[in-house]
A and B are shown apart, each in its own frame.
Chain A
Amino acid sequence: MKFFVSLCAAAAMLTVIAPLPARAGPMGFSGSWMSMGDFSRNWREAFVNYAFTPRDAVGVETAYMRSDDGNRARYLNSLTYTRLLQRWNSRDAQANLWFIGGIGALRLADQAGAAGETRTMLTPGIQFDYETTRLYFQATERLYRARDVNHDYTSVRVGFSFHEAEYEETQPWLILEARRMHDLSEKTEITPMLRLINKNYFIEAGVNNASEPRFNFMYVF
């Protein structure tokens, strides 16, 4: 019951933050809550999930997607499930394969027709990441499907850290991301970002190739 109340509180909190998101990220350690936000002009999302085992997390997610011309907007609120399918730990690296999925209500807000209509949306996806103390790679493919709607999301990220850091220090990284959102944009969005990783927080900020700002964060509590 306590868990359910906490989940509802988190959902309410996200609803208050803004009409936000859709692509989910991974999860924290067993017994932890993870929050994440990804904010840019045309794509905003936030979620909170709870890891109830070392490999499974459930949560809530809210997303806002908009076409480049600003004529079509999508509002998604969903329940999510994240599963660590496989983890590879070596002395100097870690790689992960994740399943990320959600089911929720998608509200369409088009300037021409279908305004305000709500449909059920499914968002299954796969994410792979590989990281050392100096290098980072991530590839994500997530479907965003509802009746007559396909906003599949693809992203690839590569990056490097400027130097190794002690556990107590903040480590700066340069990350370059390329991503596409089907039927919302015909362009590939390229965003270089400065990432700061600390044991307590994870933030990224950058400007994309359309000169639009981008800000991401993750926090585990």
Chain B
Amino acid sequence: MHFTRIAAAVSLGLGAALLAAPALAGPVSPLIEGNFIIESSDDIGHNLCSLTVYGSAFNAHGDIQGEGTGGEPVAVVLNTMQPTSVTRSTDKLSVKQSQFAALSADFNGAIVVSNVPIEKCSVSGSFTKHNGHGAVSVRCKGDDLSALLSADQITSLRTAMQRKHVKFTVDQANAKWSLSTDCKGTWFP
């Protein structure tokens, strides 16, 4: 999980350095730029999200962390690998992917699912700079969870996702599933 965040920060920094470089002294664009990390105010440390814009690259992601059946850390990240709509101004940023958002999951530090596009999966994020408020919501469902996770992992995930603003359901056959998360709070720079 930390890897995801660090990798994003490093690569976005690189991207910013590469993309920036307006040569001549001239007007500076006031359009919003940066990585805005938000923490759900009533589930601190477990329900994080971020919106990122550097130059022409956009991303929103939600990141839920909990403890599995054996107390092991379990994390799920949903990511706009391919945003379907974006708006940006000097004060506001919104990034949305209405389908095929990407799912990642790790159990006890081991990445089990890495950026798998889920057809019926949307991630929608917004941020307002002047008040520092932001939110990212995730709505996903699918028919084939057992193709991605083992029965033990699914059990562990159910335990770990029993958190405020997170709903994770799976049918008895460990096939049909749904996940919704809401992360809403204030940017911590």
Q: Do A and B truly interact? A: no
What residues of chain B have their CB less than 8 Å away from a CB belonging to chain A?
A: none
What residues of chain A have their CB less than 8 Å away from a CB belonging to chain B?
A: none
